[in-house]
Chain A
Amino acid sequence: EPEVTQTPSHQVTQMGQEVILRCVPISNHLYFYWYRQILGQKVEFLVSFYNNEISEKSEIFDDQFSVERPDGSNFTLKIRSTKLEDSAMYFCASTGRGFTDTQYFGPGTRLTVL
C-alpha cells in the first residue's frame, strides 16, 4: 500500500537555526499539506500546496515558513529561524483531490528547538 514518508523522524536544533523537514507524498497525489501538533494539543493546519504553489495558509504560516516541491517527489517545509515555540510534531499529508478526498498522513517529524 502506498504511504507518505517523512524525514527525519526527530530533529533537534538550536533556536535561530534553519531546519528543513522533508516529505515524500504518494506518487500520484496532487495536493500536499503540512500540519503541526504541539505536544498534547490539537492538530493545526499550516499550509496546502497544489500545482506548485501555495493554495491556502494559516496565520501560523508566517514569513519564517516556506514550502517547496524541489523535484517530482519531495515536498519540504523550511523554518528559517526556529523559535522555542516551533517545537512540535510536524505532519505532512497528501490527497488526490484536495480536502474532499482522503488525506494520507506521514508518521511525522518531531522538532525540538533548544
Chain B
Amino acid sequence: GIQVEQSPPDLILQEGANSTLRCNFSDSVNNLQWFHQNPWGQLINLFYIPSGTKQNGRLSATTVATERYSLLYISSSQTTDSGVYFCAVEYSKTSYDKVIFGPGTSLSVIP
C-alpha cells in the first residue's frame, strides 16, 4: 500500500516566524488534503490540493503530484496555529485504505 510521511514530526516556533511542513507519499494519489487539529482536538480542513498552489490568508499549500510531495506554508505564525497538521491522501490502487493520513506534524507557537 501507499506510505504517507510528514516532516518534521515536531516543530517549535516563535510567534511571527514562518514555517514549511512537508508531506511525502510513495505512490500517485487521486486527491490530497491538509488538516489542522487544534489543541482541543477539533479537526479543521485547510486545503483540498491534489496539485498546484492555493492560498488562504497566512496559509498556503503546494502539491507537486509528479514528485509525490505537498508543502504547507505558515507565515507570520500565531499561537492559535498550534496543534497537529495532517495531510491525507485519497488512493485508489487497493480495495481498502482509500484515505490515508500521515502521522502529523505537531506545531507549537510560543509568544
Q: Do the beta carbons of A91 and B96 come within 8 Å of each other? A: no
Binary contact readout A13-42 vs B (1 if CB under 8 angstroms, 0 otherwise): 000000000000000000000000000001
B101 within 8 A of A: yes
The interface size of chain A toward B, counting residues with CB under 8 Å, comes to 21
Instruction: Give the docked Cα–Cα distance between A91 and B48 (Å).
Output: 19
Q: Which residues of A contact B90 (CB under 8 A)?
A: 99
**Known A91-B43, A105-B42, A105-B44: A42·B104 in contact at CB below 8 Å:** yes
Binding site for A on B (CB under 8 A): 30-31, 33, 35, 37, 41-45, 48, 50, 86, 88, 90, 96-104
Q: Which residues of chain B are within 8 angstroms of A89 by Cβ–Cβ distance?
A: 41
How many contacts A-B (CB < 8 Å)? 57
The verdict on A66 contacting chain B, using a C-beta distance below 8 Å, is no
> Chain B residues with Cβ under 8 A from A58's Cβ?
96-99
The reply to whether A59 and B42 contact each other, CB–CB distance below 8 Å, is: no
A101 touches B101 (CB 8 A): no
In the complex the two chains form, what is the Cα distance from A100 to B47 in whole Å? 10
Tell me the bound Cα distance from A42 to B6 in angstroms. Answer: 11
* A–B pairs, 25, beta carbons within 8 Å: A42-B101, A42-B103, A43-B86, A44-B101, A45-B97, A45-B99, A45-B101, A48-B98, A56-B98, A56-B99, A58-B99, A89-B41, A91-B43, A93-B43, A99-B30, A99-B31, A99-B33, A99-B48, A101-B48, A102-B45, A103-B33, A105-B42, A105-B45, A107-B41, A107-B42
